[in-house]
Amino acid sequence: MRNLLTLATAALFVSQLHAQKVDLDRYWYSTSSRSLPSNPLPEGSRTYRIDVTNSSIISAIYSNEGLKSALAIDGLKNTEPKAHLNVSLFFSDLNFEKTGINERKEEIKDKSGKVTGQKSYYSAYGNYRFGIDVYVKDSNLAVLDHFQPFSTNSLLTYTSSEFGSQSEAANYFNNNIGEIKRNLAKSNTDNALVTIKNNLKTKYGYPVTTYRDFLWILDSKKHDEYKQHQEMWDLFKSITVKFNGNEVVSESLKKELAPVMAYFEGLRTKYAADEKADKKFRHCSYYTMAKIYLLLDNPESALKEADMLVTNGFDVKDAEQLKREANTMIDRFKKNGVTSTHFPMDISMNNAPR
């Protein structure tokens, strides 16, 4: 009888444990890794140079050296007058082709909502063209890539703030046209520099990046698992900030992760029932382990976790994203001849072509 009572009590405890509400929320952490390029240059030949052909309006805003500095490629050595990667920038002038005045009419209403009149507002506009051509060439000056952050084939539009009369809008535009052109050229060029730099670093660079990512973590404070779950989360996020894309992941850092990995792996066996609450815990387990394996530069193991996440059936979209990340890492490892996103680089070993 006592054994039956014990079994019944245990069954009730398990039932209550699994009946507790399970909410998973995004919890964000920070870490660091080295990005690997999609089109890497051979080791020893990672050199680049940037040549700028400026227009009159751009040269009044930026120096050539300032533009070159803004486009420095991390992980590559800047060499002159030759390099294995040659980037050429060509800036056009900025010229207005058509100008005019826009009118916007606004109804005036009394307190009852009845229209009693209308008021007009005027803004000056100008259609203009501006272009930036970017050519990327190899050491033999064969074109590898060509793109235009801004093209003179496209007509752009400037619109001023609004004024109370046509003459005010026209006078503002005519009296400030030089400043308007400079501001447009600077704004467009600043945006273009971001686009160009991102293009170059994605294809050829090795920048160390600090970024934020998230785990699905239990946020149900009344759940019996909550306390230990949060302790493991706190331990995890305290470890990830120690990863540095410019350093090899140490064995001691891996050991610090061991209890976190053991805990999250254990969730899949502790909560093994075919119930939604248990599936959430297993989802958390597979997702977390996949992220940890990616952090440890082990994409093959991350893919296995993603497959189990699919089998679990709670949210397959997470699995699709994990697989994209893992397959991208595998592809970049193969192209770059490395097995990690955490390593120092010595660019001084790279030499310009003879």
Does one domain contain both 266 and 152? no
Question: Which of 150, 175, 204 is the C-terminal boundary of a domain?
Answer: 204
- pLDDT, residue 17, reads 47
Residue 315 lies in a domain: yes
Residue 95 lies in a domain: yes
pTM, full prediction: 0.85
- Whether the CB-CB separation of 83 and 103 falls below 8 Å is answered with no
- pLDDT, residue 113, reads 80
Amino acid occupying residue 122:
Y
- CA–CA separation, 158 and 97 (whole Å): 11
Does one domain contain both 29 and 70? no
Residue 6 lies in a domain: no
Does one domain contain both 82 and 188? yes
Does one domain contain both 25 and 66? no
Does one domain contain both 211 and 192? no
- pLDDT, residue 8, reads 46
Residue 61 lies in a domain: yes
Mean pLDDT by 10 residues, the chain (354 residues): 50 53 94 98 96 95 95 97 97 95 90 86 97 97 97 97 96 97 97 98 97 95 94 98 97 97 97 93 97 98 97 90 97 97 96 93
Question: Which of 204, 239, 258 is the C-terminal boundary of a domain?
Answer: 204
- pLDDT, residue 112, reads 84
Cα 45 to the center of its chain, rounded Å: 28
Range(s) of the domain holding residue 139: 47-99+125-204
Domain count, the chain: 2
Residue 287 lies in a domain: yes
Does one domain contain both 65 and 180? yes
Residue 307 lies in a domain: yes
Closest to 308 (Cα-Cα) out of 333, 288, 325, 337: 288
Question: Which of 204, 222, 239 is the C-terminal boundary of a domain?
Answer: 204
Does one domain contain both 177 and 242? no
Q: Could you tell me the CATH number of the domain that includes residue 133?
A: 3.30.160
Residue 349 lies in a domain: no
- Whether the CB-CB separation of 228 and 263 falls below 8 Å is answered with yes
Does one domain contain both 26 and 74? no
Does one domain contain both 141 and 217? no
Residue 342 lies in a domain: no
- Whether the CB-CB separation of 114 and 59 falls below 8 Å is answered with no
Does one domain contain both 199 and 282? no
Q: Residue by residue, what is the 3-state secondary structure of the chain?
A: CHHHHHHHHHHHHHHHHHHCCCCEEEEEEEEEEECCCCCCCCCCCCEEEEEEECCHHHHCCCCHHHHHHHCCCCCCEECCCCCCEEEEEEECCCEEEEEEEEEEEEEEECCCCCEEEEEEEEEEEEEEECCEEEEEECCCCCEEEEEEEECCCCCEEEECCCECCHHHHHHHHHHCHHHHHHHHHHHHHHHHHHHHHHHHHHHHCCCEEEEEEEEEEECCCCCCCHHHHHHHHHHHHHHHCCCCCCCCCCHHHHHHHHHHHHHHHHHHHHCCCCCHHHHHHHHHHHHHHHHHHHHCCCHHHHHHHHHHHHHHCCCHHHHHHHHHHHHHHHHHHHHHCCCCCCCCCCHHHCCCCC
Does one domain contain both 170 and 213? no
- pLDDT, residue 273, reads 93
Does one domain contain both 181 and 221? no
